[in-house]
Every structure is written in structure tokens, then in C-alpha cells.
Amino acid sequence: MRRTIFRRALGALLLLTGLASASVVSAAPSCTVIPEYMRRYLRDHVRYHELTPELEKRSIENHLRRLDPSRTLMTQVEYEQLAASIDGIFDSIKRGNCRPLTDLHKKLVRSHEYAAKFVKGYVDQDDYAIDETAELTLDPEDRGRPKTAAERDDLLRLLVHFQMSTYVSNGTELAEAKKKLVGRYERRFRRFLEIKPDEIYAAFMDAFATALDPHSNYLSPKVLEDFRIGMSLSLEGIGVALSEQDGYAVAERIIPGGAAEKHGMLKPKDKIIGVTKDNGEFVDIIDMPLRDAVSLIRGKAGTTVGLTILRQGETIETFNIEIVRDKIDLSEQAASLRFEEKEYDGQTYKLAILELPSFYGDQDPSKRQCTEDVARLLRQVNQEKADGLLLDLSRNGGGLLQHAVTISGYFIREGEIVGIEDSRGHRQILADGDEKILYRGPMVVHTSRVSASASEILAGAMKDYARAVIVGDDHTFGKGTVQTVSPLPGNNGALKVTTALFFRPGGKSTQHSGVNADVVLPSVLASDDYGEKHQRFSLEAQTTTPFLGTQVNSPLPAKRWNPVKVATLMTLAKNSEKRVTASADFDEVREQLAKVKSGQGKIRVDEIMKRRQKEADEGGTGADKDASTPQLAEALRVLSDLVNLSRSQNTAIHASSPPTS
């Protein structure tokens, strides 16, 4: 297995620092090579090795969903007819015939043409006015496909009111907004009309790849180039990982150290629906190809980009923000340390909070590495004689796998950290072979559903070895798969395929369910919007033979760390539950989560229209960034409990030990 497999475990997200969407293609393969590419996917994939009827169905479903992400072009009957028209597409492709795909494309061209003409005819009416009472269900999945042509037309009218209100609320006069909206639909029609056959084949290739799992993709040459650039986090932009969902550009992750993170307003799962360019022109990006949207948002450091955000939380709101583009600041992304004092039963404890936003590192080993930063900070923790350590991984979306292994080794003597197993049962185990323990005191690992990939490996190892208490969201993200990027000959891009799974020392995979917290705290992230298991076609969790190390602790009492006992976990969870139940801060968190889960996902046009006046009254939308959260504060209280219990246990052990002569 290639070493590159073990470097990173990152999903196919679009980084506005460079990583391009794998679902949008530019250059692409010919029809005749598609069968060979599919065979390579099935040969290397961790789960699927033959083309089943289920995979065929998924691929067709993916392809049609991407052709009509907002579900405004096809009625349910038309969708079923088009799906039936390419039902035998895989047999056709094997014979070198991709005509069903090009025929399907031609039919969608006519649908785009109809939509463009319909919108123009509607807004060009002399008596057209924005219907401020109109109410739109945002999620196409929730509203479903129109059953009839009349329902489709009604939906188009609703979308027109929604889109026109967005233009007008951003300062565009009604007459100009009409021209912009009509032009947008006409450009979408022309763009679809100009798509070449090889681009159609490439789009279907990627639909097939993502039918295997969410992280397998076909990367066209341009996308591959952006993918490589994005992995280095070197481009200038706003520092956001975007994905395309149902026609929206959705913020999946805010990159630590990036411009958006410093600004403080943009949150995961926010939808970016509009971009204001440097010249003040507002551009609606709903249904725009993700690559095109990114080209509008990205730009040189020091320049400003305006974004219109649609946020669906306890209520649905839209607002504008302006972000000054910048490069990723490694100093902002780097590990940091601070100390807090907490009083417990008359005792004052000095607690260290070590935040690690990612497992960063340069390819040049002489340059900055998170392993060296964390080692230096842990030495400081010891020098300051901290009573306990909170390792904060709640914003950590992953990074370099080997660095996660190395840092895990700082807290144990030596032992196995993670297993990587492919579909053939071949397993490679990465272990800490250094007998040094840099920190051996009481320890809490703070996690959330944002904690993913490499951070789950560290948290999982600490949990399996009873080295630390995991405190935070019910579970981490659940990204436990390994992707390999294999370049194709002839500058035809690359195949990104999921080839293996990560396993914790106890035998559980981090895939799907992630790492469960020992002490669970209420969180607004605990919804179906966050987590691997809520992604389409995600691979299920698996188990393997445990490979727990036998020398993780020192035989010398002076160098040992105290394993966290089950009884201790139960006491910590019980104490925390009492505090959380009585906490006004957590009452608010629970209320927010309940509203998010019960929300109908609808927005009224008048709510958008009121935005400009509201922002004028409030003097604009500013950053509201608070470094402290109720979850972090409670995690520190849990750490205080753990320190107290550890001291009590040590006192009891020493009191019961026989005297020595």
C-alpha cells in the first residue's frame, strides 16, 4: 500500500483557499475509457468490488440530482421517465456507447430553456411586484419534486420572488434586479447548452464514484490541480471548506487561521447565496456551479468580498457580511496554551488548556510542525506544575495522520495507536515507539462533531487506553476512511477512491459513529446536519481484532499515569449532568437545538426584505466571536472533578500501602 495513503484523510470539500469541487468537471475522459476507470474503482475500493444493481441505481440517482439540484426543472413524472431512459446505461457504456447520457443532456437543455423563458416572461410583466407574503421551503429534499407542470411553474414563481428579494435587499433597484435575474437564467441555459460530451461523461464518472461513498471522486485535470493546491492551504481567500448541496454553496468547515475564522460570523452549515464583487455588483450564486462561485469568492489578500448568508437555525435568517481576504495564518492555526485556576471544595487547581486546531505540518521537516509545538507546550505544562490538562480538539478537522500518532504517544509510554485495514484484510498498525511520556497527569480531551479524521484517532486511542476522559458532543464526526489519489495517464485527471478504514486499538472503526464522549454535553451541533453518518451513501462502521498495546504504561510508580476507571467515568458524568441540568447557559443550548430540529425550513420573502433596514438600524453586522463556550467551561469543571478524584485515589493508595523499612 502506498505511503501516500497514510498522509491524510480528507473529504472532497472545496477549500476557498484552493481545493476545488470534485463534482464539477472541466476536462474529462472519453466514453471508451469509462469502463476501465470503473474497474479501477471497484478493484481498489474498500467495500464495493462489483457493479451491483444498487450501485447502478445510486449512480443514476446522483447524476440526475446534480442535473437538477434545486428540483425546479423536472416534475416527478419527468424525473422517472429520464431515469428509465438511462436505466441500461452501464451496459451501453461497456459497449462504448454513451449516447443515452448525451440524449439525457439534450432533454435537460430544453428544461433550462423553458425555465429561462418562463422567468423572463414572468418578471417582464408590467404589473410584476415581489410578493412579500410568499413562503419558500428551502430544502429541495423537504419540498420534493413538483407533481405536475403547474406545480413546477408555481415553484419557479416562488423562487423568482425569493431571488428578486435577495437582489433588492442588497441594494439593487427592482428594474435592474429583473435584468440580473433574467440574465442569470439565460447564462445558466447557455452554459448547459455549451457543455461538451466529455464533460458529460466525466460528470457521470463522478456520480458513479460518489455512489461508492461520499469521499470517492473523479478529479478532472483542473480539479486535480486545485486539489493539490488546496492540500497545502497556500492560496489566498477566506479560509472556508465549501461543498455543493442541492444548489447551495454550503460552508462545511471554517479553517482555523483563515480570514472567515478571524471575522467570526460565518458558521458551519451556513449557505452562501450571494457574492458582492469588488465593483459593488451583487451576484446571485444559487445553482451556480461551485467552481464558478469559488472564483467569485476567492481573491488576493487584502481585498474585500461581500457575502450574503442564509442561515437555518432556530429561525431562518439572511444577512450580509464583508470579509477581507487573507492567507491562512499558521500562527493562528498553531497549537496554543493558556492556564486557568478553578476552585474545588476549597482547593484551587491550576488547569492547562492546550488547543490544537489541526494536525498541521510542512513537507519540509525543518519547518513548523505541530508535533514540535505540542511537545514544547507540554514541557511548559510540566514546568508550570499544572494540576490537569484539557486537550481541546473541538475545532480540529484532521490533518497529518503521522502527527496524530506522534502526539498520541506523548501521553503513553509506547503502544499501538491506529490500524489501517483494506478490503482484503491487510492491516498496517502505526504505533508510538518512544518510551518517553511528556505528560502523565489527569487529562480531558474536549471533542465535538467538528472533530474529525486524525483528531478522532487521537481521541479514540486515549479512550481505549483509559488515558483520558472524552468530554463534549455525543460523538465526533465519524470520518474513518482513507482515500488514495491515483493520477491517470495522458493528463486525464485522477481517481480518488476510498481504499481503507481506520481502526482504534480496541478494534472499533472511527467510521460513521466516531468516538463517543464519556461525558456528553448538550450542543447545537447534535443534529442531523453534522456527522459522517448523515452523508449520502456513507460507509457503515466495522470492527476488527483489537490490537491494544501492552506497554502503554510505565512499570515504575514515579513514571506511571493513572488509568481512568469506569467508576470514575460514572462519577464524572453524574456530577456533570447535575451542573448541566441547573445551567441557564445549557438551557439556552437545548432550546436552540429543539428549535433547529423542529424548524419547518421555510422562509418568508418579507423576512429577506426587512434585512437591509435592520442592518442599517444596527449599524451593520459585525463579528460576534467568543473564545469561551458553555461546553469548554463545563469540560474544565469535569477536569477539576478528575483532578480531585485522582488525588483522592492516590491518597487512598498511599494510605493502604504497607510501611517500608
Same domain, 566 and 435: yes
- The per-residue DSSP string of 538-596 comes to PPPP-B------S-SS-SSGGG---PPPHHHHHHHHHHHHHHHHT-HHHHHHHHHHHHH
Which of 176-190, 217-231, 254-268, 568-582 ranks highest by mean pLDDT? 568-582
Query: Over 90: is that where the pLDDT of 34 sits?
Result: yes
Containing domain of residue 361, as a range?
A: 330-584+631-653
pLDDT of residue 195: 92
Whichever domain contains 485, its CATH number is 3.90.226.10
Residue with cell 509506547: 414
> Residue 310 falls within a domain, yes or no?
no
Q: Is the pLDDT of residue 22 over 80?
A: no
Output the pTM of the full model.
0.82
Q: What is the per-residue pLDDT across 556-611, written as a single tens digit (0 to 9) for each?
A: 988 999 999 999 999 999 999 999 999 999 998 888 777 766 655 777 787 776 65
My answer on whether 385 and 517 are in the same domain is yes
7 is a domain residue: no
Q: Domain boundary residue among 177, 212, 247?
A: 212
Q: How far is CA 386 from the centre of its chain?
A: 34
Range 393-413 average pLDDT:
94
pLDDT given at position 224: 75
- Which of 19-33, 115-129, 277-291, 506-520 has the lowest average pLDDT? 19-33
In terms of domains, do 409 and 545 share one? Answer: yes
CB of 634 within 8 A of CB of 562?
no
Tell me: pLDDT of 154 over 90.
Answer: yes
Q: What pLDDT is stored for residue 1 in this prediction?
A: 36
End position of a domain, from candidates 212, 232, 252: 212
Mean pLDDT of 439-459: 96
Q: Do the domain assignments include residue 600? A: no
As for how many domains the chain has, the answer is 2
Look at residue 554 and give its three-state secondary structure. Answer: coil
Give the SS3 label for residue 310: strand
The pLDDT, as a whole number, for residue 465 is: 98
Residue 587 has phi, psi (to 5 degrees) of -60, -40
Model confidence at 133: pLDDT above 80 = yes
Q: Which amino acid is at 225?
A: E
Enter the C-alpha cell of residue 141.
Answer: 429534499
- Residues 6+ away with beta carbon under 8 Å from 170: 274, 276, 282, 308, 320, 612
Which of 15-29, 151-165, 333-347, 528-542 has the least mean pLDDT? Answer: 15-29
More confident residue, 236 or 642: 642
The pLDDT of residue 428 is above 70: yes
Whether residue 605 is contained in a domain is answered as: no
CA distances 500 to 208, 249, 404, Å, are: 19, 29, 18
Name the band, by pLDDT with cuts 50, 70 and 90, for residue 623: very low
What's the pLDDT at 326? Answer: 85
Is residue 2 domain-resident?
Answer: no
Q: Region 526-546: what's the mean pLDDT?
A: 89
**pLDDT exceeding 90 applies to what percent of the chain?**
57
The verdict on residue 418 lying in a domain is: yes
Confidence of residue 344 (pLDDT cuts 50, 70, 90): confident
Q: What is the mean pLDDT of residues 358-363?
A: 84
Higher pLDDT, 287 or 468: 468
> Bridge partners of 187?
none
Q: State mean pLDDT over 599-628.
A: 57
Over residues 167-203, the pLDDT tens digits come to: 888 888 999 999 999 999 999 999 999 999 988 999 9
**CA gap 31, 100 in Å, rounded:** 11
pLDDT of residue 228: 60
Average pLDDT, the chain: 86
Res. 236 pLDDT band, cuts 50 70 90: low
Q: What is the pLDDT of residues 74-109, one digit of tens each?
A: 999 999 999 999 999 999 999 999 999 999 999 999
Q: How far is residue 634 from each of residues 140, 329, 520, 522, 638, measured CA to CA in Å?
A: 38, 29, 10, 11, 6
pLDDT score at 152: 96
Which of the listed residues 212, 228, 253 is the one where a domain comes to its end? 212
Q: Given the DSSP bridges, would you call strands 388-392 and 347-355 parallel, antiparallel or unpaired? A: parallel
Return the exposure string of 160-181: e unless at least 16 CB atoms fall within 10 Å of the residue's CB, then b: bbbbbbbbbbbebeeeebbebb
The CA-based angle 519-524-530, given to 5 degrees, is: 90
Percentages helix, strand, coil for the chain (3-state, rounded to 5) are 40, 20, 40
Residue 261 domain flag: no
Lowest mean pLDDT among 53-67, 163-177, 476-490, 604-618: 604-618
In a domain, 102, yes or no: yes
Residue 596, C-beta contacts closer than 8 angstroms, at least 6 positions apart: 312, 313, 314, 524, 527
